[in-house]
Amino acid sequence: MFFFIARRLLQAVGVMLAVGLIAFALFQFVGDPVNNMTGQDTSLAEREALKEELGLNDSVFVQFGRFIGNAARGNFGHSYRQRRPVDELIWERFSATIELSAVSALLALLIGIPMGVYTALKRHSWLSRAFMTLSLIGVSLPTFLIGIFLILIFGVTLNWLPTFGRGEVVDVGGWTTGLLTLSGIKSLILPAVTLAVFQMTFIVRLVRAEMLEVLRADYIKFAHARGLAARAVNFGHALKNTLVPVITVIGLQIGSIVAFAIITESVFQWPGMGLLFIHAIHEVDIPVMAAYLMLIGLLFVIINLVVDILYYAIDPRLRLS
Amino acid sequence: MESMASNMQNTVEQNAGASPSTPLLDIRGLTVEFPGRRGNLVAARDVSLALAKGEILGVVGESGAGKSTIANAVIGLLDPPGRMASGEVYLAGRRIDALRLPAMRAIRGRRIGMIFQDPLTSLDPLQTIEAQLLETITAHLGMTESAAQRRAVELLDAVGIPEPSARIKQYPHQFSGGMRQRAVIALSLCAQPEVLLADEPTTALDVSIQSQILDLMRQLVRERALGMLIITHDIGVISEIADRVAVMYCGAVVETGATAQVLARPAHAYTKSLIAAIPRPDRKTARFRLVQQHATVESTARRLDVKTHWLGQRRSFDGDGDGDGDGDSGVDSSNASNAALVELENLCMRFTTVPSVFKSRRRYLDAVDDVSFSIRRGEVFGLVGESGSGKSTIGRLICGIHAPHAGRIRFAGVPLDARGSRRALNRLRRQMQMVFQDPFSSLNGRMRVRDIVAEPIRFHRMAEGAQLRAIVLDLLDYVGLGGAAAPRFPHEFSGGQRQRISIARALATRPRFLVCDEPTSALDVSIQAQILNLLKDLQQELGLTMLFISHDLPVIRQMCDRVGVMKSGRLREVNDTETLFTAPRHEYTRHLLDLMPKLDILSGDGGDGDNPN
Amino acid sequence: MARFLDSDLWWDFKHSPLVMTSAAITALMFLVALFAPQVAPYDPFDMASIDLLDALRPPAWAEGGSVAYLFGTDDQGRDVFSTILYGSRISLLVGFLSVIMAMLIGVLVGLIAGYKGGWLDAVLMRIADIQLSFPAILVALLIDGVVRGILPRGAHEELAVLVLIVAIGLSFWVQFARTVRGSTLVERTKEYVLAAQVTGLPDTLIVFRHILPNVMGPVLVIATIQLALAIIIEATLSFLGVGVPPTSPSLGTLIRIGNDYLFSGEWWITVFPGLALIVLVLAVNFLGDWLRDALNPKLR
Amino acid sequence: QANTFRFAFQGDAQSLDPHGLNETFTLSLLGNVYEGLTAYDGDLGLIPALATAWEITSPTTWRFNLRRGVTFHNGNSFNADDVIFSWRRMIADGSDQKSRAGLISAINRIDDYTVEAVTDAPQPTLAREMVYMYVMDKEWSEANDSTQPASPRTAGRENAYSTLNANGTGPFTVTERQPEVKTVLRRYDNYWGDIDSNVTEVIFTPIAQAATRVAALLSAQIDLAYPVPVQDWNRLDNTAGVRALTGPEARTIFLGMDQGRDELLYSNIKGKNPFKDMRVRKAFAHAINLDAIKRTIMRGASTPSGLLWAPQISGYRAATNTPYEYDPEESKRLLAAAGYADGFEVTMDCPNNRYVNDEKICQAVAGMLARVGVTVDLLAQPKSKYFAKVLAQGGYDTSFYLLGWTPGSIDVYNVFQNLLSCQNSEQKRGQFNLGNYCNSEVDRLADGIGSETDADARQSLIDAATRIVQREVGYLPLHQQPLSWGVRDGIAVTQRPDNVLDLRYVVVE
Ligand SMILES: Nc1ncnc2c1ncn2[C@@H]1O[C@H](COP(=O)(O)OP(=O)(O)OP(=O)(O)O)[C@@H](O)[C@H]1O
Ligand SMILES: Nc1ncnc2c1ncn2[C@@H]1O[C@H](COP(=O)(O)OP(=O)(O)OP(=O)(O)O)[C@@H](O)[C@H]1O
Ligand SMILES: [Mg+2]
Ligand SMILES: [Mg+2]
């Protein structure tokens, strides 16, 4: 167990270093930061001084080391655009994105997994055919279209739900949350559904495919041959075995929810990191891009670690050695 | 999976009170179909079988004969789209094939236990053995938790698992193959069924474990007065365990009778040919006898005059110049026949089983450990030993698929290692070929047969154009396939035919050394006999030197001049075949010979048959 | 060919009207996109042929519509029907080329990693892992962002399509690499590969002649599904304003433009491109879905 | 009782620093928090603010009497020192108000509540320029290390306090500031003035997507949204509870051409600059159909214009407002005469989120030019990138562009100074004359317009200069764009022609 976790952690550090390298490379590729920091009347001498002060004359390795060191402390420099520390900018937006993603992920899982199981077990019933067709339509609909149509229907036509922003938020120990106010929750519904649709349909299909594989396994046949009740076979044996491969993919999928939030956030003007990032892209605001990249990397690493530990808990074959 | 329960409504409760004379399990006129787009495939046709209390009924037949289908139909677990087209199944006089699902579930496990073929995949990997036992016991016997627990431990003990109370908490992956098979048996017995259906319960197991499992099952049947249906294609297993035997061919039962009678005096033609094809462990025969009607392929083989044909031409491999130089033909006679062609000296091969950055955490496996022997020119050298003992690895080392970890290999006196030039190595490489075990994976399914055979010739630039085409057709003829096979794809051929393609490919470089790595273990005995005959003929005609790898002692006895015995990577004994079989020196060899099924009851005319040709 | 016509795949295909419809739709959209200049009544990229005075005509069947403009015109007077044809052309172009690029990279990496194994495999697969943690949309956005920074101002717009292809292609290769590696690991130990090794064939020949054809089945399935995804991602990027410029709009750009007219009643500007996108992606997805099931012998 | 007013704009104020960026929305939002010495009323009439009265004591000297009893939001009182401090700050490095503050060469303190501004040349419109010269508290700025303007454009290394915090004298204080997310203003109880508004709290949200913005208004989540797309006016008017609030904006949209360089930066014509040829410029002028743009893209809501300034601007004379005629044949003839019978290629820079339908106008223009043979490569970008490219700090990196202009002083001199004078960075003239249209006669006349105090004489100078510019086709004016707001019923607002939302006039029912 210790070795297992230690190895994973080591890998995680490796991944973060690699992501750091990419983020660092962004700065190197995309022009001279001094140009982005100074006005046009800054003199050459001042530029040189600034360069020296920023350490841009050091070797690339020293700079990379410093970048990683700063990043580890959450220091990503200043946004070229907003002239504020990037970590502060990101932190302001962090809770919005995380709440949106978490709720979507939950929606996707709570609806997606049962639907996947159902469609696998009742492969030929009309309901599962309907589910499968719906899920196919779900993966074929671009997220932004879903968002627009939800706004049109539930916001404008029916006037049931807010169509933009996060509603009232309250601050709970430094974490702003919209989950504790009615307007916050109402504001969350449309974006969360929009974001969840794709992931949900994806999970339905994934669970179904894996479950079908498992249902064909010899031990399922053997379980039937032992005369076990259908429920015991389907849920006690088949579902659990299905979840093993599904967990990894779902883990990755949850990571991508955060990235896909970019689209949802810009359709719903949701004040999260995605909106920040898309603005940064438009304006080539490298420090923000780099920080966001590292953050997604970190998120992935954490999710993976959790998935691995879950794996470890579910699958006894890993516990050996 | 429960297709059969639904398509039969008439749940007739006839023969309610079973009289002592009614068989325990009675299958009457069972026909099973698999509807497919090319029409119905009839997997079992009008099969009738009866099984009495305390009786072991063996079902034999070649692969695809419909053996498993019968067992699956009895228990109502036909794979979709399979369905029972007609027939009835009675359990202790009560009809069960038309039962509804809940009633069927009550029978499964409780009254009919089933053992599937593969012990490695029959257990849920995520649950402990205990959990799986408990759920079955409580589902059927309605015991309390603790009583069920006690019973589970007893069962494990009964099937011979050491320290059952500790082992029961473990997961399947912590069990060895044999233990898993025992656990599967325990699971199928845990609700005290009256009938046990065992579908090839020992095929995936080692010979020694196989004999233990068979002993166990025999003992259980006797003790508990079960009726047991055992399905296998291994006549050896049948002869050891079955009271009666049913022979299946193409979905139909062609012969039933007491084991001794069927094996000794087969009545049906198929049974005859089957039995004739079984390699005799007790004496060596020149060729396998093949009953004519089942050996049609054999007769189509066109004999080539190897003295004049390309295949036999310029087969001089000695000398320093290029191998294709002098026109010396036929079997090379330049050297004394007992000179070694292949010599292994202190060969070692180590695989890393657990890779790690840290040396201390790496785990190794010495698959071949300090092995030395030599193979004489023109001889067939056999290599036996249990699974995983390193036989294949030796073959692969010689052919250059793996590089040895230590030691050296000499071929025709030339050391085979990377120090030689690529060209020289290539020339030597061309002189050896390999025939593999699995005819299904040893051919590239995306290539036409003619390209498969032509590739080595083309690659070594030994012929091209029209000549190449002619050679390929000749080779296919020579192995008994005929030129019509050339433009087809491997999947259109049966296992035996594919193995012939493999052989043709191996011959394509005109090798003088052939490694046969269990070339027939995936084949039915009758087809095995054809292939072994073919190999024997080729060997003699072309003067091939052969390394013949097998774990099947009877086959080794029929094929080899000398034999090496392997165990855990080490060579335990090397000897002349007859000496080895009659007077084994090493203890392990003796152990192996002991486990070999005796098959004393085999019909007498399985012996030195006359050669059809 | 005869082998194909005789195959289960073809039989399956012929017996599923839904799949045949999808195939027909896909083929139709492909052909129409390919021959857009011949099929489309107008050339929406040709500024000189557009007349602002024709702007905002409703579809032909609606009041005020004209048969000259089947699906009406947009705010610039472009024929919506033609822009959809040309737009699908760009969407499909981006989709196709990016998937082909991803396929080339992925298959190659997968083959090398699977066949060579060892540290090379470890390194390549770690890279794949890292790549996998960045969803396609993010990678595409990032590459786009970086390219904006690197390229001289203005050049980006011209290269937008190329940038999109590279961005999407680079984010898609992992799926291929992983699958191919997995299959290669299996194939590598199969005896036909050993047989080729015994013959002395060089590794490259073994990999490309023997292994590659045997691992292509799943690759095709992934390619189909990725194609649908690539089309969506292109549309999304264009919707977010980092895709192709509005002067040569893709379906996504068209939807973004039309989006401005959702409340004003000119629904056709966004609805028709939206429908075209959905139908195209749905058809491709249907095909991919079916292909996956059909090529998986276990699901029969 | 509490009255909350919510509104949305398409972008956010880029900073809370009043001197950091000279951009309409930033100044307009900050105008509720900060104040200048003078102010506009709802019709752009000049009214006293922090100065109660002013007079021109000599042609180059202005005397301002400051208001007494004014306190900043932090309680500090306002006096002459703050005025002088703020002016200094406005001419310091990083300030974007240099062109305004630079008109003044010195501000002298007469006493605590009187200052005297000295200019190099006579500046008849100085009092109007004062509107956007917001006054900061000297003590507060010093205490918070914010004596230098923090400009978002010259992104710096450390966080500048003044970008996130504000301390003005205006009727509203900033209570919450989340850039690009939300800004909350609260009524300042000690405000010196008496204003119409009964709003106690203002919540401002930037919403970038027009559809989302309109949807928010339609679903009553906000009280006011601007701009709303002109095509949505009907929808708003037909929806109960909301209405479109429209009117002519004092902003003129026009096209500019690089007439300064000897070779265009972005064109296939090498070795010469086609725009230096008057016939080419004229050909462009005749190629563009202003009415078509008005009718389709602007939904009839724009006012085609032949001038660079709108009727609201002092110095406007209807008689001179004659747009160029749409005559593609003439245009082709002129191009042929200039040697471009087959046309040429040029890249057009265009913002895509700054003016009403800016990108669409550019597309339409490109289409129209294509019909006379000129191929236009359109490069439409978000405003921040667009401005960074085409403005002075980007080195006027453009050949052909679209720009909109509202003279901040609501006086035509501002146009002459910024758009029509030759580029001269020392004199801070022609700074927004991106194509460097340059005619010394116009420059001379502009000087006169700047200093002439007699109205009739001044008007004739304006007319003379206008004629020159029109004849030479220095610019291609397109139209005055409409103001396009969407407002919920029950909200009374005053829509200023310069598209400024002044919260002083917002009344919630
Ligand atoms: N699910 C299925 N679908 C279609 N055909 C099937 C299916 N299962 C079995 N068959 C066919 O039924 C026939 C009998 O198969 P069965 O498995 O009973 O043979 P077997 O005698 O057990 O062979 P083996 O020794 O290889 O296990 C074969 O021809 C097989 O191809
Ligand atoms: N490529 C490999 N990597 C790691 N271990 C290997 C490899 N090939 C073989 N081994 C191991 O080496 C041992 C010997 O294998 P080998 O295939 O030579 O046995 P065998 O005698 O041919 O057995 P069988 O009868 O099952 O074919 C086995 O334990 C096997 O697991
Ligand atoms: Mg079977
Ligand atoms: Mg082996």
* DSSP state string for D147-189: -S---SSS--SS--HHHH----SSSEEEEEEETTTEEEEEE-T
Give the Å distances, CA to CA, from A38 to A32, A46, A50, D110, D154.
11, 9, 9, 37, 5
Nearest to D223 by CA among D500, D6, D8: D6
Element housing B193 (H / E): none
Of C131, C125, C166, C173, the residue nearest C147 (C-alpha): C166
From the CA of B566, the nearest ligand is 2
Report the pLDDT value the prediction gives residue C269, as an integer from 0 to 100: 85
pTM (predicted TM-score) = 0.82
CATH 3.40.50.300 segments of chain B? 2-111+194-264, 310-315+341-595
Residue with the two structure tokens 């013959």: C199
Domain residue spans in chain C? 95-300
More confident of the two residues B420 and D442: D442
**Residue C142: in which H helix or E strand, if any?**
helix C136-150
List of residues 6+ apart from A146 with CB closer than 8 A: A194, A197
CA distance D82 to chain C (A): 42
Pick the residue of C10, C186, C193, C198 with the most B CBs within 10 A to test the interface with B by mutation: C198
Q: What is the mean pLDDT of chain B?
A: 80
Residues A49 and A153 in one domain: no
Tell me, what's the pLDDT at B324? 41
Contact list, B116 vs chain A (CB under 8 Å)? 218, 221-222, 225
Tell me the mean pLDDT in the region D430-441. 91
CATH code for position A132: 1.10.3720.10
CA distances in angstroms from D441 to D280, D411, D448, listed in the order given: 22, 20, 11
Nearest Cα to Cα of residue D208 among A262, B156, C300: A262
CATH 3.40.720.10 is right for the domain spanning B2-111+194-264: no
The per-residue DSSP string of A254-319 comes to: HHHHHHHHHHHHHHHT--SHHHHHHHHHHHT-HHHHHHHHHHHHHHHHHHHHHHHHHHHHH-GGGT
Residue A24 CB partners (closer than 8 Å, separation 6+): A63, A64, A67, A68, A290
Q: For residue B483, which of B474, B494, B492, B491 has the smallest C-alpha distance?
A: B474
- Best of C43, C52, C239, C253 to disrupt the D interface (most D CBs within 10 Å) is C52
Distance of CA D261 to the CA centre of its chain: 26
Q: Which ligand is nearest to the CA of B44?
A: 1
C54 pLDDT above the threshold of 80: no
Ligand 2 residue neighbourhood (C-beta within 6 Å): B 351, 365, 367, 385, 387-393, 551
Chain C residue numbers touching D215 (CB-CB < 8 A): 263
Rounded Cα distance, C47 and C41, in Å: 15
pLDDT at C156: 65
Which amino acid makes up residue D21? L
Residues of chain A in Cβ contact (below 8 Å) with chain B? 217-219, 221-230, 232, 236-237, 240-241, 244, 314-317, 320-321
In D324-453 the beta strands, taken as DSSP E runs, fall at 345-351, 375-381, 400-405
- Of B386 and A190, more confident: A190
Tokens linked to C105: 């990279």
Please indicate, yes or no, whether residues A133 and A248 belong to a single structural domain of this protein: yes
The predicted structure's pLDDT at residue A310: 82
Nearest residue by C-alpha to atom 2 in ligand 2: B351
More confident residue, A23 or D117: D117
Q: Does A110 lie in the same domain as A47?
A: no
Task: Assess contact for B87 and B29: CB atoms under 8 A.
Answer: yes
Give the ligand 1 atom nearest the CA of B69.
18
pLDDT band at D32, cuts 50/70/90? very high
Atom nearest to B395 CA in ligand 2: 18
pLDDT of D288 reads 94
- Considering the domain architecture, whether residues A16 and A56 belong to the same structural domain is answered as yes
Domain final position from A20, A46, A72: A72
Residue of A nearest to D95 (CA): A39
Region D293-311: mean pLDDT is 89
Distance (Å) from the alpha carbon of B593 to chain C's nearest alpha carbon: 30
> Tens digit of pLDDT for each residue in D475-490?
999 999 888 899 999 8
Confidence of residue D12 (pLDDT cuts 50, 70, 90): confident
Same domain, A130 and A54: no
**Which pLDDT score is estimated for C3?**
56
- pLDDT score, position B613: 36
Query: Which phi and psi (to 5°) does residue D226 adopt?
Result: -155, 145
Query: Across residues C32-47, what is the average pLDDT?
Result: 80
Same domain (yes/no): A67, A182:
no
Q: Is residue A107 part of a domain?
A: yes
Task: Name the residue among C142, C228, C240 with its Cβ closest to that of A263.
Answer: C240
- Smallest CA-to-CA distance from D387 within D421, D364, D353 is with D353
Ligand 1 close to Cβ of residue B326 (< 6 A): no
Is residue A116 situated within a structural domain? yes
Rounded Cα gap, residues B185 and C270, in angstroms: 66
Report the residue from C52, C154, C158 with minimal CB separation from D367.
Answer: C52
Residue D139: its pLDDT value, please?
A: 92
Q: How many domains does chain A have?
A: 2
Contact call for B and C: 3+ CB–CB distances under 8 Å: yes
Confidence of residue A137 (pLDDT cuts 50, 70, 90): confident
- CATH: 3.40.50.620, 1.10.3720.10, 3.30.9.90, 2.130.10.10. Which one for C95-300? 1.10.3720.10
> What are the distances in angstroms from CA D147 to CA A103, D92, D113, D164, D307?
45, 9, 22, 14, 40
Q: In what order do the strands lie in the sheet with D61-66?
A: D51-58, D61-66, D114-119, D104-111
pLDDT digits (tens, 9 = 90+) for B132-147: 999 899 888 888 888 9
ipTM: 0.79
Superfamily of structural domain B310-315+341-595: P-loop containing nucleotide triphosphate hydrolases (3.40.50.300)
Residues A110 and A42 in one domain: no
Sheet holding B25-36, edge to edge: B39-51, B25-36, B83-91, B94-95
Tell me the C-alpha distance between B410 and B433, whole Å.
16
pLDDT of residue D357: 87
Q: How far is the CA of B519 from the centre of ligand 3 (A)?
A: 21
Average of per-residue pLDDT across D391-395: 77
Query: Sign (positive/negative) of CA torsion D466, D467, D468, D474?
Result: positive
Does C274 sit within 8 Å of A296, measured CB to CB?
Answer: no
Reported as a single tens digit per residue, the pLDDT across A49-83 is 767 766 677 777 787 888 888 888 878 877 777 77
The strand ranges marked E within B518-559 are 545-549
**B42 Cα–ligand 1 center, Å:** 10
Q: Which of A124-133, D380-389, D455-464 has the highest mean pLDDT?
A: D455-464
Helix and strand totals (H; E) in chain D: 16, 19
The yes-or-no verdict on residue A47 having pLDDT over 90 is no
Nearest in space to D213 (alpha carbons), one of C238, A164, A188, C236: A164
Q: Among the three residues A72, A99, A117, which one is the final residue of a domain in this structure? A: A72
Task: Give the domain extent around A209.
Answer: 87-315
Query: What pLDDT shows up at residue B307?
Result: 62
- B332 pLDDT higher than 80: no
Helix, strand, coil shares, percent, chain A, to 5: 75, 0, 20
- For the ranges A247-251, D39-43, D363-367, D375-379, the lowest mean pLDDT is seen at A247-251
Give kind and range of the element (H or E) at residue A77.
Answer: none
Residue A81 lies in a domain: no
A50 and A188 assigned to the same domain: no
Structure tokens at D122: 């006579």
pLDDT at A224 over 80: yes
Chain D residues within an 8 Å CB radius of A282: 382, 384-385
% of chain D beyond a pLDDT of 70:
97
Residue-wise pLDDT for B415-452, tens only, equals 877 666 677 777 777 888 889 888 878 888 888 888 89
The model's pLDDT over B519-570, given as tens digits with 9 standing for 90+, comes to 887 777 778 888 888 888 888 888 889 999 988 888 888 889 999 999 888 9
Of A30-39, B18-27, C81-90, the range with the lowest mean pLDDT is A30-39
